[in-house]
Amino acid sequence: MTNISTPPLSADAVMRDAPVIPVIVLNDVRQAVPLARALIAGGIRMLEVTLRTSQALACIEAIAREVPDAVVGAGTVRSAADAVAARHAGARFAVSPGFTPALGRQCRELDLPLLPGVATGSEIMLAQEEGFKALKFFPAVQAGGLAMLKAWQGPFGDVVFCPTGGIHAGNAHEFLALPNVACVGGSWLVPADALARGDWDAITSLARAACELRR
């Protein structure tokens, strides 16, 4: 078990560290450390490793243990049990595809900053009732994209978003130009083919380009 006494971040700080949070799916723990180092070399240190594979927790633990410059988080956190497992593996933040009060309370008890997923006004209001105002908009493009974020600026002017889902290098700048968007999430920083080849230089180049996106 990784030491979990590292001082916590805030969700807002996670979202404002860089223009893009990479959404990472890893099936091989041997790829975790070199991938993390490649992303850091390109200027990206907030790393969301999704809990979609049997190796995800081991990958989080390896990055937390061996790459001190990385701030590794867990994505696809869907339950209180997921949050506990991620925190004990060394995750320093959590990202969820949706939101429940139980998940929010568990993350708060763990001092684990949570970016809860929302797709409707009612979900935003529920998250706000539980004290969350730095939110993941997911699935962003499919749930209304730029038009939805612009519509939310009026009633939810005190909320900041990380849109994820359908975001890529070609449209990320449009989302980042909105005043209520702090960053975007995307998988394009870690292409499956580059990961399979171990082409860490290519991933570093993608990370560097992402850091140059304007907010």
Count of Cβ atoms closer than 10 Å to residue 82 Cβ: 21
Count of Cβ atoms closer than 10 Å to residue 13 Cβ: 15
Cβ distance 168 to 188 under 8 Å?
A: yes
Count of Cβ atoms closer than 10 Å to residue 28 Cβ: 13
Q: Please identify every residue annotated as catalytic.
A: 48, 136
Instruction: Note the helical H segments in 17-55.
Output: 32-41
Rg over alpha carbons for the chain, rounded to the nearest Å, is 16
Return the closest-CA partner of residue 114 out of 177, 38, 122, 102: 102
Cis peptide before 68 (omega within 30 of 0): no
CA distances from 7 to 3, 17, 100 (A): 11, 16, 25
